[in-house]
Amino acid sequence: MNKYIKIAILAAAVAGIAAAIGCAKQESGSKKADSSSKQETEKQEETLPKREYKDPSEYGKVIALTFDDGPSSTTSLVLDKLEEHGAVGTFFLIGDNISDDKADTVKRAVSLGCEIENHSKTHSYMTKMSVEDIKAEIDYTNEKIVALTGRKPEFFRPPYIDVNNEMYEAIDETFICGYGCDDYDAKVEIEERVERTLKQAKDGAIILLHDAEGNVKTVAALEKILTELEAQGYEFVTVGELFHAKGVTPLEYAMYSEVTAQ
């Protein structure tokens, strides 16, 4: 058995655990079916300033809040909360959701120190796709993000945390899962979202939330999550910054829900 296959099996096992702890399916309502307007090749308009990281020795207890399935009208509400608390997050965008009317929201996120990463184009089960189609999903969303921010994503969250070897081989970005609270499910109430998130919080954790259209319960939960984590002494960092703070170089054929110092 070669090294890559072994690592891939390990990664698949991690993915299985990750799915069990909160990266499972989500309601289809959060997906935008309409990929409508033909997006012509967009030119990069500007390069927004990149978030500046501190020296790794200057970080204390860190945690990375992440938000999937935007951009949507909910994204602005999430940004309001982050801004009020002087916090940052990482947004994993669905390419088909990146419409012209969301451009300012994405740029605002970057201006607040947030980072923008890749969550595919169509939010489909990608293990059923050809390598070509997998690459097309990633490239489309990368291009949309580069056009808006001038920065190419470094991280990828697989839709439904559905992964296989072909995806690890085809996608040149680090796979991220995280600890979730099923907040894609409208039936999960605000208090439960808060409690489950706080229970999973720890130094180096990646927290998985959703800024899908209409997900206002997560906005309400976020107020309490931010307040409580602040009180517990956490520093909010982006996913890229989390690896930097922990001095960890991401591995290929692996998926991360937390990052701890090597």
Active site residues: 68, 210
Q: What are phi and psi of 50, to 5 degrees?
A: -80, 145
> 59 or 67, CB closer to Zn ion?
67
Extract the tokens encoding 226: 């931010």
> 69 or 115, CB closer to Zn ion?
69
Neighbours of 3 (CB within 10 A): 8
Under the rule (CB under 5 A), what is the footprint of Zn ion?
68-69
Closest separation in Å from C-beta 149 to Zn ion:
20
> 35 or 111, CB closer to Zn ion?
35
Question: Do residues 110 and 238 touch, judged by C-beta distance below 8 A?
Answer: no
Angstrom distance (rounded) from CA 3 to CA 256: 19
Task: Using CB atoms within 10 Å of the CB of residue 236, give its burial: 0 to 12 exposed, 13 to 18 middle, 19+ buried.
Answer: buried
End-to-end CA distance of the chain: 26
Closest separation in Å from C-beta 176 to Zn ion:
12
> 69 or 117, CB closer to Zn ion?
69
Residue 66 to residues 38, 69, 93, 139, 164, Cα–Cα distance (Å): 29, 10, 11, 21, 23
Closest separation in Å from C-beta 184 to Zn ion:
7
Closest separation in Å from C-beta 142 to Zn ion:
17
